[in-house]
Amino acid sequence: MNRKAYSLADFVTRFGGRVEGDAATNISQIATIESARKGQIAFLSNSKYRKQLDSTQASAVIVSEADAEATQLSRIVCDNPYSYFARLSAYLNPLLDFEHGVHPSAVIAEGATIASSAHIASYVTIGKGAIIGAGSVIMSGCCIGDNVTIGENTRLYPRVVVYHDCVLGNNVIAHSGVVIGADGFGLAWEAGAWLKIPQIGRAVIGNDVEIGANTTIDRGALDDTVIEDDVKLDNQIQIAHNVRIGAHTAIAGCVGIAGSTTIGRYCRIGGSAGILGHLSITDGVEISSFTLISKSIRKKGVYSGIYPFSEKDAWLKNAAQLRHLDDTASRLKQLEKELEELKRRVA
Q: Give tens-digit pLDDT for 86-111.
A: 999 999 999 999 999 999 999 999 99
Compute the distance between CA of residue 138 and CA of residue 154 in angstroms, rounded to an integer: 8
Active-site option among 119, 175, 241, 248: 241
Known active-site residue 241: yes
Same domain assignment for residues 84 and 213: no
Compute the distance between CA of residue 53 and CA of residue 68 in angstroms, rounded to an integer: 11
Give residue-wise pLDDT tens across range 303-342.
999 888 899 999 899 888 888 899 999 999 999 999 999 9
Same domain assignment for residues 251 and 213: yes
Same domain assignment for residues 261 and 292: yes
Residue 264 inside a domain? The answer is yes
Same domain assignment for residues 220 and 129: yes
Same domain assignment for residues 232 and 265: yes
Same domain assignment for residues 33 and 85: yes
Same domain assignment for residues 107 and 86: no
**Average pLDDT of span 241-269:** 98
Residue 259 banded pLDDT, cuts 50, 70, 90? very high
Same domain assignment for residues 292 and 167: yes
Same domain assignment for residues 18 and 80: yes
Please state, as a whole number, how many other Cβ atoms lie within 10 Å of the Cβ of residue 280. 14
User: Is 248:230 a contact under the CB 8 Å cutoff?
Assistant: yes
Supply φ then ψ for residue 322, to 5 degrees. -65, -30
Q: How far apart, in Å, do the first and last CA atoms of the chain sit? A: 89
Please state, as a whole number, how many other Cβ atoms lie within 10 Å of the Cβ of residue 308. 6
Same domain assignment for residues 258 and 321: no
Residue 1 inside a domain? The answer is no
Residue type at position 243? V
Domain that holds residue 145: 101-303
> Parallel, antiparallel, or unpaired: how do β-strands 173-174 and 119-120 relate?
unpaired
Please state, as a whole number, how many other Cβ atoms lie within 10 Å of the Cβ of residue 45. 15
Compute the distance between CA of residue 18 and CA of residue 77 in angstroms, rounded to an integer: 5
The per-residue pLDDT for 1 is 62
Q: How many domains does the chain have?
A: 3
In Å, how far are 108, 131, 149, 301 from 168, measured between CA atoms?
Answer: 19, 10, 6, 31
Question: Where do runs of H (alpha helix) occur along the chain?
Answer: 8-15, 81-92, 312-323, 325-346
59, 92, 125 - which closes a domain:
92
Residue 205 banded pLDDT, cuts 50, 70, 90? very high
Residue 279 inside a domain? The answer is yes
